[in-house]
Chains A and B, each alone.
Chain A
Amino acid sequence: MDFPTWTARMGTSEQNARAIRTLQAAASAEVEAHFAIEDDGSFMLDVLMIEARNR
């Protein structure tokens, strides 16, 4: 997720964007590495794809 693009698309207020950055800055190294949090707040998300057959 590209932070500026994501927050613009979601209409995130300046205040909330700052709150997200604050939480990210407080994250442990483990969390920071998992989500690959970058300096500008951009990050990666785990995505799951399921192919199912209807019974």
Chain B
Amino acid sequence: MVRTHEKAVEAQFGSRAKAYVDSTVHSQGADLDALDSIVRNSAPTRALDLGTGGGHVSYLMARQAKGVVAVDLSNEMIAAVARTASERGLGNIETVAAPAENLPFEDGSFDFLACRYSAHHWRDFDGGLREASRVLKRGSTAVFIDAYSPGARPIRHASSGRRIAPGHFARP
């Protein structure tokens, strides 16, 4: 049995769906507050939450958007989000299980897109971004939030005190 990337991701996250719904690391944060004001200004008709996970971006967008579509690779994650949305009385969240690289939507079918802590799990990052661009209307806003590496900080030279840019070092 070959364990594909998708199967590995599903196995990792499907069984932990509830933990992501309940996670305070995922349900709070300055980034969510910033996203909230961007969504408020955009007032979307149909917003896509790409890689919804515990659904926190969807619950937030559902207050400002007419409709929200929450997409995730994991069926169990999607089920947990649908359950939580109904518990919270959010009737405008639709859930769809699909990989980011192959979204089952027409071109330009959304006028807002948010993607939070998802892109680092994708099999094909560029492919996922192309799909995001395809399903989003031209001129519409996309917000991406994720962990990243800022690279090495400039190091203060011990003897001269001069700052040395990381680019001065040979890369391995």
Which A residues contact B (CB, under 8 angstroms)? 1-2, 5-6, 8-11, 30, 34, 45-55
| Contact yes or no, A52 B144, CB < 8 A | yes
Chain B 8-43 interface 0/1 with A at a Cβ cutoff of 8 Å (1 = within): 000010011001100101000001001100100000
Contact B138 A54 (CB under 8 A): yes
Docked complex Cα distance between A11 and B20 (Å): 12
Chain A residue numbers with a CB within 8 Å of B153 are 30, 34
Q: Chain B contacts of A53 at CB under 8 A? A: 139-142
| B168 CB, nearest partner CB in chain A, Å | 17
Given the complex, which residues of A lie within 8 Å of B146, measured CB to CB?
47-48
Q: Which of B15, B19, B25, B133 contacts A54 (CB 8 A)?
A: B133
The complex places the Cα of A8 from the Cα of B19 at a distance, in Å, of 9
User: With A and B bound together, what is the CA distance between A44 and B139 in angstroms?
Assistant: 34
Q: How far is the CB of A28 from chain B (nearest CB, A)?
A: 11
